[in-house]
Structure 1
Amino acid sequence: MSDTTHPVTWLRHAGQHLGLVPSLGGSVAAWQIDDPQQPGGRIDLWRPWDGATPDLYQMASFAMVPWSNRISGGGFTHVGRFHPMRPNRAGEPYPIHGDGWLQPWTLAQTAPDTLEMRLRSERFQGNPYDYESVQTFRLVQGGLDQHVLVRHRGAEPLPYGIGVHPWFPRTPATRISAPVEGVWLCGDDPLPTAHTTQFPEGWNLNAGISAHGDLIDNGYTGWGGAARIEWPERGLVLTARMPEFAQDGGTAKHFCLIYRPPQGPAFCFEPITQPIDAFHLPGQPGLRVLAQGEAMALHVQWRFGPSA
C-alpha cells in the first residue's frame, strides 16, 4: 500500500496497524492486528485496500458526511425551499453517502496513538452544504476509537446526518448480531418502501445472521448502539459500541445498515444517524437540523478479542 498518488499514512500502536488515505476521501486503507499465531503476520479487521484502485468502495472504510446513503427526488425540501442534489457516483441514480468521501482531507497526528483528518467543504458540486468535518482515530489497547464530527458553516440551517462505512472480511462462518427493533423494506432500487418489525428470514440481527446469503441493503431502526461480528474460524470477535448512546437519544436516534452482497469477500455493518432517504420519510427520522456553528458527532468504540 504505497501508491504515490494516494499515499497511506500508518499509525502503529498496541499491536495494531491503521492506515489512512487523506487524499482519497479521508478514507481508511486498512485496520490490522498482529497475528499471535504467525510472527510478523497480520489479521485484517476491515477488508484492506489494494493500494491502487481509486474506487472508494474498495477502501477499508470511509466516513459519510454530511448525510449517509441515498437521497431521492433530485434533492430535498427544507423550510419550504427545495435544494437540488445531483448523483455523485457512476451507476447510482441518486446522490449517495454525502460528499466528504469525494474530497481530499488534511491529516495531522495529534498524539502518539491518534491521527486526525479534517475537511472544509463549501457547496461541493453545487449541493447546499457548507460545513467542516473532523475524523479522529485513536488506537487503544484492544481496539479503535472512531469519532466523526460535522459542524455547519452556512448561514441557512440544514438537516445533517453522519455514518461510517467499514467493510468486514467474511469467512464461511462469519456472523453479525445487534439489538434492533425493525427494518425498512425496499424495492429494486434500495429506497425504503415500508417499515416492519417482522424480519424477513435471515434478517433478524437480534438472533444473529450469517454474513452470507441473499442481498441485504437495508436500514434497521431502533438500533441498541452495540454490535458483534464473529469469525469462528479465526477464534476472533469484534464489537462496536456507541459510548454516548443514552445521552444522544437512545434507540429512537440510532440506526444501522447491513450491506450483504450475494458474492464477494466482504460485507458492511454501518452505524448511521439516519435511515436511507430520511429526507423523504415522514418526520425525516434521525436527521439533525444544524444552525450556523452547531455540530453533531458520531462516536464508535471498536473492540476485538477472542471469541467464546
Structure 2
Amino acid sequence: MTETHHPIVWLHHAGQHLGLVPTLGGSVAAWQADQPEGPVDLWRPWDGVTPDLYQLASFPMVPWSNRISGGGFTHDGRFHPMQNNRAGEPYPIHGDGWLQPWALTQPADDTLVMTLHSQVFQGNPHDYEAVQTFRLVDGGLDQHVQVRHLGAQPLPYGIGVHPWFPRTPATRISAPVQGVWLCGGDPMPVAHTTQFPPGWNLNEGVSAHGTLIDNGYTGWGGSARIEWPERGLQLTATMPDFERDGAAAQHYCLIYRPPQGPAFCFEPITQPIDAFHLPGQPGLRVLAQGEAFALNVQWRWGALPAGAR
C-alpha cells in the first residue's frame, strides 16, 4: 500500500468530530458523533494512509457526477473530449474536483470551507470555482457544495456528494423515489423503469447487503434514512432547497451497494448517470460565465425509535 502524507484538519463542535483532507481531493476523512460508548462513525472513516479516494469517508463530485460515455459530450454543437480518470474505469467518472487539492479556511468555530479553482483540468472543458462548506450543528452536519462557471462559453454542470456509510448486518436505507435506471453489461443506463427489481425499492427500504446495485434513482423526494438497529442509531438526509430546485422532477440519488466490503453509498446527485447522453440531458444545469448553482444536504443523526430496532 502506498502511504500518503495528506494532513487531516479536524473540526470539533456540538459533540461531533469532522476531519477534512483538503489536499486529497477536498475529501472527508471522518465524521463522528459522541456517544456514551465513545465516538461513533457516521461515515466510514479513512485509514489515514491510502491515497485512493474510494477509501475516504466522502468526496465531492464536481463539475458533474458519475460516468460519461462516448469519450466526452457535445454542447451547443461542439464536442468536448474527456479523458478517463481512474485506473480500471472505462469512462470518465465523478468529475475532476476530487482529483485536485483544495484550499481550506475556517470562517467560524462550527464551520470549515474548502475552495477549488479548476481550469480545464487534464483537458476537460470546464473552468469553474467550487466551494464546499461544512457546518456542524446540534445533531448533525450541514453540507453545501456550490459551483460557479468561469469560462467564456456556457457549459452544462452537475454536482454530487459521495459519502460511504458503515454497514452492520441489519443496516437499511429508505428514500421516496419514483423510478430507477437499469444498466446493461456495465453501469451505464439502458432503460428506465418504475417497476423496481426485487430488493431495490427504496420506498419500502432495502438492506445495505445483497447483490450489486450501482444505479441512479429518479423522482427522489429529497429525503432519506439510514438505520443501524444494532447501534440504535439512524441518520437522515434532507434537501432544504427541494421545492425551490424543482422538487422530485429535478432530484436524483444513487445507491452503490457492493456485494462485499464494510460500506455502501447513498449519493445525493443533481443529474443521473451519463446525463450528458440522455434525452434532454436531465438534471444538468447550463451555466453562463459567472452563474452558479448549489447542492445542499442537511444530515441529522439520532436515536432509532424503539419500534424500528
Unaligned runs of 5+ in 1: none
Letter in 1 for 2:10: W
* % identical equivalent positions: 82
Match of 1:184 among 173, 181, 184: 181
Q: Deviations over 1:275-298 (max 9, x none)?
A: 000000000000000000000100
Residue number in structure 2 paired with 1:20: 20
Q: Does 1:133 align with 2:142?
A: no
Residue number in structure 2 paired with 1:204: 201
Q: Distance in 1 between matches of 2:303 and 2:185?
A: 39
Q: Distance in 1 between matches of 2:83 and 2:48?
A: 29
**Count, aligned residues:** 303
Q: Distance in 2 between matches of 1:192 and 1:106?
A: 35
Unaligned runs of 5+ in 2: none
Q: Does 1:106 align with 2:96?
A: no
1:142 to partner: Cα distance: 0.2
Residue number in structure 1 paired with 2:77: 80
Q: Deviations over 1:172-200 (max 9, x none)?
A: 00000000000000012100000000000
1:42 to partner: Cα distance: 1.0
Structure-2-length-normalised TM-score: 0.97
Q: Distance in 1 between matches of 2:81 and 2:53?
A: 24
Q: Distance in 2 between matches of 1:238 and 1:173?
A: 14
The correspondence of residues 42-121 of structure 1 with structure 2, limited to 5 A, is 42-121=39-118
Give runs of ≥4 in structure 1 deviating > 6 Å: none
Q: Is the 8 A contact 2:65 2:95 kept in 1?
A: yes
Q: Distance in 2 between matches of 1:303 and 1:35?
A: 15
Residue number in structure 1 paired with 2:34: 34
Q: Distance in 2 between matches of 1:304 and 1:44?
A: 11
Letter in 2 for 1:153: L
Q: Distance in 1 between matches of 2:279 and 2:194?
A: 17
Q: Distance in 2 between matches of 1:291 and 1:253?
A: 20
3-state DSSP class of the match of 1:233? Answer: coil
Q: Distance in 2 between matches of 1:267 and 1:241?
A: 19
Letter in 2 for 1:173: A
Q: Is the 8 A contact 2:127 2:149 kept in 1?
A: yes
Q: Does 1:154 align with 2:154?
A: no
CA RMSD of aligned residues (A): 0.7
3-state DSSP class of the match of 2:230? Answer: helix
Residue number in structure 2 paired with 1:215: 212
3-state DSSP class of the match of 2:248? Answer: helix
Match of 1:255 among 231, 241, 252: 252
Letter in 1 for 2:299: W
Q: Is the 8 A contact 2:4 2:50 kept in 1?
A: no
Q: Distance in 1 between matches of 2:112 and 2:255?
A: 27
Structure-1-length-normalised TM-score: 0.98
